[in-house]
Chain A
């Protein structure tokens, strides 16, 4: 064999060997796993069968729906992942609009398509509009990670947090939002029912949704226009047709539905970053001192859960799951359940520091994304939170910076 041929042969053997070695042992030519502190899509500790169910739910959660798979005709987004990028907060392009309810007596515009506006419609359909006389609000999607832990917080703990506020010197009060639950929702273990038959609800910006099962059914139906066994009526445009009275064939099967419910239930909580950083600790102390923690409670504890990883866990969501009066600046004259139109659920602050990673480098905070920085969001706190917001303004510049850094660590 000529030397040249031998050289070329050796070159190829070396190249091929290097390839194999690279594949099997050298991680540097491939991206590294995302630090769990910076990613939210992972599950809690699960059994192998639970992991398979979680994986199936993950695929469905991030699947894009089409008209052939049930999308529309009126919708806000084409999939769960459109609003909850990386299981975190939403972006204004998928903001949703609700209308038609101003008090606890219920939505007066159900026959006109309430409570949610189909922002978009499939080609050929008439765009939906808010009926005359209806008030409305815009809502940006909240964070999904960790919601299974919130669901497992006992009603008794929520009531206890409300009771503890009775003499709060900053004027913080807050109360659970009691709401009627639909027939397909089974009350959780330890649920406390009020005399009028309503239950403590905790999901959504108004805390008007009872549990994740109901939340998934609502999201599929209101946000994507997808019918299920539990919400079998498609959203409609009252200007074109009357409210449907005949159930449609479910556009999502029960197994798929359950997998998505399990997926969101079993999502890990966001992990705080730089928790031992001196400035972060300084900021956390100031956060508590000025009264933010009166509503944004750091630690909650779960009760019983059928999923072992969720049961009897103490976790750090920075919420009390109560609705609080946020003042006239946040009063959109729309509500759900027993909440007043100016009352909003305390937003869990976990994952706040990752917002720019899921909102395209910007931040859109508060219920409708009106705040474009954490500072701005603090300044927009009124009503029961006005004292804390004012206290933040009185902090030294260093302490203000520390509070922001602490919030960015969440």
Chain B
């Protein structure tokens, strides 16, 4: 029922809203090295749809972004005070190797509370993306290397400067494992017909491991797999993770994406002998972005449903089913020349979020399991240029633990203020 309602909601949005655009107009970004020559883009193009600067006469282009903020958060009256956070520094290098052959890499320093905090070794400095693209035909491209699994819209389109919020959506980082990258290969293609755009992506990659149901969070937690330092060399299950996405866009309406990711996640074979049943994880995702005509109100939304095979004699703290998502509504209120910036914008925005990490009922009592969270985050942002954003956010959040308690050791009514900046360079 929830799935049906969500699909209905997204469908209504699809028919009522107009031209697709990110929260910044990517056409205003400077000097893309060799991005798609098509007139319109989809979320799947986000990896190349960034500002690059060409290095002299070489085939190399570089770019990057940085993201930093200060936050003051209070849970049940308890605060750790002001926290200054340097979230990310990301460097892109792209190259057109030959006609129809291009390469892009993204090296990122990240100090963000994603992954399994109990297992993580601290800030990461690693390769987030490094893939070769060979175009045989616009409808048939081969991509291989370290890629971003195209689950939903946010995983492929997550650069800090594109958003009016200092934090990434909770459902995308604490339920889905954004940024979820894996070594692998696959095909993608696009077709444009009048106002319409169609795209597909289909990849096989490395995947999850047993940590998604055995982690310091004490809940089914796909991001825990990110903390494994061996996942870029060893697949826990020895089987591929399949990820596929279909995108439909209309420059008068918006873009909707339907995606799936799934495969066996557990180590079921040791020394050649089967020690456990194969257990799978399946993720379904719907994402939408569009702009209300006339008002220029931008809407981005994504909802995901996760189904995990859990051993029958395992603790109910680890859920079979999770779902959650977010919706961002961004309204430009001032646009034009401000101080010395010709193309500046002031936005007001709001983000609504919901995550249910444990959708089901207790066997012991028949009562509903909770472990869910609601959050609303109004924001004001100032963009002196489309590439740079200063943003001020206020968050109100309420949470239930697994039995529905609203106050506990780690939960309680939460509010936070954050001020941050992010910019492409």
Contacts and interface: CB of A to CB of B under 8 A. Distances in A.
Contacts, number: 146
Nearest to A87: B409
Interface string B390-425: 001010000001111111111011110101000000
Interface in A355-395: 357-362, 364
A326 to B, nearest CB: 23
Given A85-B403, A86-B408, A86-B409, A19 B77 contact: no
A399 to B, nearest CB: 32
Interface string B71-97: 010111111001000000000000000
Interface string A7-44: 01100100110010011000001111110001101000
B338 A66 contact: no
A67 B266 CA distance: 14
A267 to B, nearest CB: 12
Interface in B307-352: 311-317, 334, 338-339, 346
A242 B380 CA distance: 65
A78 B315 contact: yes
A68 B119 contact: yes
Contacts of B316: 93
A127 B72 CA distance: 46
Interface centre among B76, B78, B415 (most CB of A within 10 A): B76
B415 A86 contact: no
Contact of A81 (B334, B339, B409, B413): B409
Chain A, interface size category, equals: 35 or more
A162 to B, nearest CB: 35
A41 B76 CA distance: 12
Nearest to B380: A15
A23 B317 contact: no
Contact of A34 (B76, B218, B401): B76
A23 B71 CA distance: 10
A311 interface: no
B393 to A, nearest CB: 10
B80 to A, nearest CB: 12
B235 to A, nearest CB: 17
B276 A124 contact: yes
A123 B266 contact: yes
A280 B343 CA distance: 67
B313 A120 contact: yes
Given A64-B217, A85-B408, A121-B313, A30 B79 contact: yes
Contact of B317 (A15, A68, A78): A78
Chain B, interface size category, equals: 35 or more
B210 interface: yes
A87 B388 CA distance: 47
Contacts of B82: 23
Contacts of A15: 380, 392
Give the secondary structure class of B's interface. Answer: loop
A92 B365 contact: yes
B382 A93 contact: no
B338 A5 contact: yes
B315 A63 contact: no
B367 A30 contact: no
A360 B403 contact: yes
B279 interface: yes
Contacts of A66: 118-119, 211, 214-216
Given A16-B419, A34-B77, A82-B315, 7 more contacts: A9-B339, A16-B392, A64-B217, A85-B408, A91-B365, A120-B313, A127-B313
Interface of B: 72, 74-79, 82, 118-119, 210-211, 213-218, 266, 275-276, 279, 311-317, 334, 338-339, 346, 362-365, 367, 370, 380, 382, 392, 394, 401-410, 412-415, 417, 419
Shortest 10 CB-CB distances between A and B: which pairs? Answer: A33-B77, A64-B218, A360-B403, A360-B404, A30-B74, A31-B413, A124-B276, A92-B364, A127-B313, A62-B409
Interface of A: 1, 4-5, 8-9, 12, 15-16, 19, 22-23, 29-34, 38-39, 41, 58, 61-69, 71, 75, 77-79, 81-82, 85-86, 91-93, 95, 119-124, 127, 357-362, 364
